[in-house]
Structure 1
Amino acid sequence: MRRFAYCKVVLTTSLVWVLVDVFLLLYFSECNKCDDRKDRSLLPALRGESTLSKQA
């Protein structure tokens, strides 16, 4: 019975991590179908570029 409980815990946590990964991939992926494309990737922030200067 304990093995079944451990199996359920492992499967549940794995499912949670998969959902978190899918959310992050969808959130930070480029929007190819949008007309006004927003740069939501982490690359400009890592380069030190400010997104406020692009909006003005």
Structure 2
Amino acid sequence: MEFEDFLDAAANELEAAGIAYTPQLNTWLETLWLRGVVPHRVVQEYSHREVQQ
């Protein structure tokens, strides 16, 4: 999957979960994409990220 396709799908997943997508998330989303995380797992990763911060 190309990064742009991943980004679109991930943004849709975040917004469906009530999490506002912002361009500032792009760097974090790119790291997920490089790790091979699939878009439907992005919300779970986001929740984990929030707990760690």
The verdict on a shared fold, with TM-score over 0.5 as the criterion, is no
Q: Which protein, 1 or 2, shows the higher relative CO under an 8 Å CA cutoff with sep ≥ 6?
A: 2
Which structure is larger by alpha-carbon Rg, 1 or 2? 1
TM-score if structure 1 supplies the norm length? 0.30
